[in-house]
Amino acid sequence: MKGQHEKMWQGLGLDLGAHDALLEVLKKGYQDVYLAQKNRPEGMGYLDFVMSEVHGLRIKELIDEKAAGRKVIGSFCVFVPEEIVRAADATLVGLCTGADFVTEEVERFLPRNTCSLIKSAFGFKLGKACPYIEASDMIVGENTCDGKKKSYETLKDLVSGVYVMDIPQMKSQEGRALLKAEYFRFKEAVEKLADITIDADRLRKGIEIVNNKRKALHRLSSLRKANPVSVSGLDALLVNQVQFYDEPVRFTDSVNKICDELEVRTGKGEGVFPESTPRILLSGCPMAVPNWKLPWIIETAGAVIVGEESCVGERGVRNLTDSSGSTVDELMEAILDRYFKVDCAIFTPNPERLDHIVEMYDAYQADGVIHYSLQFCQPYLTESIPVEKALEARDIPTLRIETDYSLEDLGQLKTRVEAFVELIG
Ligand code: BJ8
């Protein structure tokens, strides 16, 4: 991908040396973690291609779209409604937040005890290595956790086009009213940016595109309920990660093709791991590309991940948006209904999340739950303690992991995960 795209990266202002080094690490990591797996579905070849061109052809597509007058909007959170962005013929992309980059430089702007995800966003910006942020016409920051909320104040000085969306912290009537007002304000901002008025037809079309993508992801999740399971947790995670970058209609078709293949495999009783493999439900913070450390440890420790209770997983895609409304107001209300159900740990109290973990544990026939929190992530770390207690009270084996993006704790994590897998096996 390198030579072919250098001019484009230069045009975006990337630091070519740093960016090349990043791509090398990414390529090696992908080979070691993904291509080393056995018995992968053939359809994953599409994802391999997307990953090999994630900073190349996909960026070219975005630049071509921009040249044709369309807008690109970058986001860090699943509370940003893609339906509204699609309704304005714009494209929503997830921004790079899954790896450490120029950490020393980042710590000149953020406290050391900031979670890796936020530091990563800053690192990619400061190190000039994320083509998505450079290609974005608007970057939506959301007031979710304190770390993100405060860091956007600083991000505004580093990058233009930052738009801050307020997010409620309670599932109350007032909370809902706040989210409603914010979604209408966002719609107006997107209309202004794209110079398009969003009418009911446009909004419905946007909802349908996003619903279809989520339906394909639901289909994939559902196939993971089988034993033996026909796809690894690593591959399923990759599909969930790529949904934030790829063109949605093409992505939906590709996921449906993978599901067709998995249905055949499941019908024949074929699995990627033997039937007796301990099944893990992973729960907690989102995992952005290329944060594959913990899933890789789990699946090389003799277990298989059958579901992710995460924003890069089921929490992010669980519900569809009702597209039956005939007016913009009705459709906006449906969007609000859908997003207000997202049970992120920033909400207090947040009992639905525990219910969903238990539901998923049963539905995916899991043998244990691994709760994953990023170091310094107050919402998920704090919630992990009552979650663990509640799960153990139901006799659900639970392992609480706190980690970051570095590889320093690899050995220690491996030991803990292997002991847990042995216990539940
Ligand atoms: S809806 S989970 S995507 S906010 S890991 S930055 S919470 S300190 S990412 Fe999230 Fe939206 Fe919620 Fe989902 Fe803060 Fe924690 Fe860091 Fe986090």
Residue type, 195: D
Residue 326 lies in a domain: no
pTM for the whole thing? 0.97
- The number of the ligand 1 atom at minimal distance from the alpha carbon of 118 is 6
Q: Is the CB of 198 under 6 A from ligand 1?
A: no
Domain count, the chain: 2
Q: Which helix (H) or strand (E) holds 280?
A: strand 279-284
pLDDT over 90, % of the chain: 99
How many A from CA of 218 to the centre of ligand 1? 22
Q: Is the CB of 286 under 6 A from ligand 1?
A: yes
pLDDT recorded at residue 4: 84
Residues 182 and 266 in one domain: no
CATH code, 352: 3.40.50.11900
Check: CB of residue 299 under 8 Å from CB of residue 282: no
Domain containing 117 — which CATH number? 3.40.50.11890
Q: Exposure of 375 by Cβ count < 10 A (0-12 exposed, 13-18 middle, 19+ buried)?
A: middle
Residue 413 falls within a domain, yes or no?
A: yes
Provide the 3-class DSSP secondary structure of residue 373. strand
| Atom 13 (ligand 1) nearest CA | 311
Do residues 262 and 411 both lie within one domain? yes
Ligand 1 proximity of 421 Cβ (cutoff 6 Å) = no
Query: Does a structural domain hold residue 335?
Result: no
Last residue of a domain, one of 169, 197, 225: 197
- Same domain? For 209 and 281 the reply is yes
**Rounded mean pLDDT, 125-151:** 98
- 29 within domain boundaries: yes
In a domain? residue 150: yes
Q: Which atom of ligand 1 is found nearest the CA of 376?
A: 8
Task: For residues 354 and 159, give the distance between their C-alpha atoms in angstroms, rounded to a whole number.
Answer: 37
CB of 102 within 6 A of ligand 1: the answer is no
For residues 284 and 310, the answer to whether their CB atoms sit within 8 Å is yes
Ligand 1 centre distance from Cα of residue 3 (Å): 36
**Ligand 1 within 6 A of 140 CB?**
no
Same domain, 178 and 214: no
Structure confidence by residue, pLDDT tens digits, 50-109: 999 999 999 999 999 999 999 999 999 999 999 999 999 999 999 999 999 999 999 999
- Residue 3: pLDDT above 90? no
> Last residue of a domain, which of 159, 179, 197?
197
Same domain? For 146 and 47 the reply is yes
Ligand 1 mean position to 53 CA, how many Å? 27
Q: Is the distance from CB of 85 to CB of 91 less than 8 angstroms?
A: yes
The verdict on 153 and 239 lying in the same domain is: no
Whether 266 lines ligand 1, by a CB cut-off of 6 Å, is no
The residue range of the domain holding 94 is 2-197
**Which residue among 76, 114, 115, 342 has the greatest number of ligand 1 atoms within 8 angstroms of its CB, and so is best to mutate?**
115
Q: What is the atom index within ligand 1 of the atom nearest the CA of 373?
A: 5
372, part of any domain: yes
* pLDDT tens profile 178-190: 999 999 999 999 9
Which of 197, 223, 247 is the last residue before a domain boundary? Answer: 197
Q: Do 242 and 283 fall within a single domain?
A: yes
